[in-house]
Amino acid sequence: MGQILGLGMTHYPGLHMLDEDMWVFLRLTLSGKRVPERVKDPANWPREMREEWADDDGAQAGHIHRERCLGATRALRERLDAFKPDFVLIFGDDQYENFVEDIVPPFCAFAVDEMVSQPFDIEPESILPKKNIWGEGPETLFRHQGHSEAARWLVNRLGEAGVAIPYAYRLRYERGLAHAFINTLLFLDVDRKGFPYKVVPFHVNCYGGDVIRARGGMKPASDKREEPDPPAPSPTVCFDMGRAVARVLARSPWRVAMIASSSWSHAFLTAKNDWIYPDHESDRARFAELRDNRFARWRDLTLDEVVAAGQHEMLNWITLAGAMSELGKKAEIVDWVETYVMNSNKCFAAFPA
Give the CATH number of the domain where residue 39 resides. 3.40.830.10
Predicted pLDDT at 216: 53
- pLDDT bracket for residue 212 (50, 70, 90): confident
Domain of residue 90 covers 3-351
Start-to-end Cα distance in the chain: 13
Evaluate the CA torsion angle 245, 249, 254, 260 in order and state its sign: positive
Q: Is 247 exposed, middle or buried (0-12, 13-18, 19+ CB in 10 A)?
A: middle
Q: What is the DSSP letter of 266?
A: B
Q: What is d(CA 19, CA 49) in angstroms, rounded to the nearest whole number?
A: 17
Selection from 292, 312, 227, 291 nearest residue 301 by Cα: 312
How many structural domains is the chain composed of? 1
pLDDT tens for 13-72 read 999 999 999 999 999 999 988 899 999 999 999 999 999 999 999 999 999 999 999 999
- Flag whether pLDDT at 220 surpasses 70: no
CA distances (Å), 148 to each of 179, 261, 271, 330, in order? 20, 21, 41, 30
**CA atoms of 269 and 27, how far apart (whole Å):** 14
The predicted pLDDT at position 214 comes to: 66
User: What integer best gives the mean pLDDT of the chain?
Assistant: 95
Q: Between β-strands 114-117 and 142-145, what pairing exists: parallel, antiparallel or unpaired? A: antiparallel
Residue 224: predicted pLDDT = 65
Q: Is 148 exposed, middle or buried (0-12, 13-18, 19+ CB in 10 A)?
A: middle
How confident is the model over 277-289, as a mean pLDDT?
Answer: 98
